[in-house]
Amino acid sequence: MSKTVTLQTLLKMKAAGRKIAMMTAYDYTTASLLSASGMHVLLVGDSLGMVVQGHNSTLPVTLDEMIYHTKMVVRGSDGSMVVADLPFMTYQVSVEDALRSAGRLMSEAGVHAVKLEGGRQIAPTVRRLVDSGVPVMGHIGLTPQSVHALGGFSVQGKTAESARRLIEDALTLQEAGAFAVVLEVVPSQVSQAVTKRLTIPTIGIGAGPQCDGQVLVFHDFVGLTSGYIPKHNKQFAELAPIVRSAASQYIQEVADGTFPGKEQTISLSEDDQKWLSAIQEGDPYATGQ
Ligand code: KIV
């Protein structure tokens, strides 16, 4: 990618009606591939707790783990903007905690912006972060860090009251200085209403086509996750069967000796084999000279 994507780029894209593509990445290789494809934003999501670490929620992810993964993504990003999640309880207890956590992600890992879950209740924190030079992306609707409070990973904004709350939360985050808002698992008509009211971009996941951008979890996008596939996900590739079949073939070839073959084997020249024979025959001074 030639030009670095900044939050100003995203604001201009919304104003021009150009859609924003965001994808999660948790390591250098994936970040490099996605950046080279022109991905506007790489999100080091705390979803890594589920798709990389194997937990059943995002709650166990620590700030040190986020910093570890974010460093790799930043190294692989070439022009894409990198946003990282502040993990559970690293910003909810106090504004000072939020400043310290975001500060570490920016200074130690080199991230360009942080993402926080929540609406009006975290607006004062968003304000302080933004005033301190930390660009903030909001995240409302289904907020996975509140999975137990929400009673599961369920659709949000399905009633008049919760839709109104969602719109107000989005406006409050914009007012507090957020430069974009993720809308997760929200009916498309509600995200359309939010998108129309905001001057900052909305980035949807399971929130319909009217959002200003879309985000997917990388492992879902390339078909690497097994088990439950959310309705909103589209597998743009199906890598799991390819990896499984390659692994079976490898095991078979190791077992029957066809791997490694001649092409994968490093051999000594016939001359050099002479000093090897000498060593094998017990000559301690064999040099191959
Ligand atoms: O953690 C994550 O990957 C996210 C996206 C699903 C938006 O927050």
At 201-246, the pLDDT tens digits run: 999 999 999 999 999 999 999 999 877 778 889 999 999 999 999 9
Q: Which helix (H) or strand (E) holds 205?
A: strand 202-205
Q: For residues 204 and 182, is the Cβ–Cβ distance under 8 A?
A: yes
Q: How far apart are CA 243 and CA 256, in angstroms?
A: 20
pLDDT at residue 44 above 70? yes
Residue nearest to atom 8 of ligand 1 (CA): 45
Residues 36 and 162 in one domain: yes
Q: How far apart are CA 204 and CA 211, in angstroms?
A: 6
Place of tokens 């909001």: 138
- What is the pLDDT at residue 152? 84
- The three-state secondary structure class of 155 is coil
211: closest CA among 22, 3, 40, 46? 22
What is the extent of the structural domain holding 48?
A: 7-221
C-alpha 251 to ligand 1 mean position (Å)? 35
C-alpha 153 to ligand 1 mean position (Å)? 13
**Residue 32 covered by a domain:** yes
More confident residue, 282 or 139: 139
b/e burial code for range 55-93 (CB count within 10 A of at least 16 → b): eebbbebebebbbbbbbbbbebbeebbbbbbbbbebbbe
**Residue 288 covered by a domain:** no
Residue 17: which CATH number?
Answer: 3.20.20.60
What are the tokens at 192? 């359309």
Residue nearest to atom 2 of ligand 1 (CA): 45
Alpha-carbon torsion (4, 8, 14, 15), positive or negative: negative
Q: Which helix (H) or strand (E) holds 8?
A: helix 7-16
186: closest CA among 217, 219, 146, 153? 153
Residues 206 and 140 in one domain: yes
Q: For residues 194 and 166, is the Cβ–Cβ distance under 8 A?
A: yes
Residues 186 and 150 in one domain: yes
Please give the number of the atom of ligand 1 that sits closest to the Cα of 203: 7
Return the amino acid letter for 187.
P
Residues whose beta carbon lies within 6 Å of some atom of ligand 1: 24, 43, 45-47, 85, 139, 182, 184, 205, 215, 217
**Residue 289 covered by a domain:** no
**Residue 125 covered by a domain:** yes
Residue 184 falls in the annotated catalytic set: yes
What are the tokens at 265? 């084997």
Place of tokens 């107000």: 168
What are the tokens at 122? 């975290």
Count of H helices and E strands in the chain?
12, 8
More confident residue, 133 or 226: 133
Residues 11 and 102 in one domain: yes
C-alpha 197 to ligand 1 mean position (Å)? 23
Residues 143-200 have pLDDT tens digits of 999 989 888 888 888 899 999 999 999 999 999 999 999 999 999 999 999 999 999 9
- pLDDT bin (cut points 50, 70, 90) of residue 1 is low
Q: How far apart are CA 124 and CA 209, in angstroms?
A: 30
Number of domains into which the chain is organized: 2
**Residue 231 covered by a domain:** no
- What is the pLDDT at residue 155? 84
More confident residue, 90 or 283: 90
Q: How far apart are CA 171 and CA 119, in angstroms?
A: 9
Alpha-carbon torsion (274, 280, 283, 285), positive or negative: positive
- The three-state secondary structure class of 84 is strand
Q: How far apart are CA 191 and CA 43, in angstroms?
A: 20
pLDDT at residue 288 above 90? no
Residues 87 and 186 in one domain: yes
Residues 109-134, mean pLDDT to the nearest whole number: 98
34: closest CA among 209, 181, 205, 218? 218
Least confident of 24-28, 156-160, 174-178, 261-265: 156-160
**Residue 75 covered by a domain:** yes
pLDDT at residue 97 above 90? yes
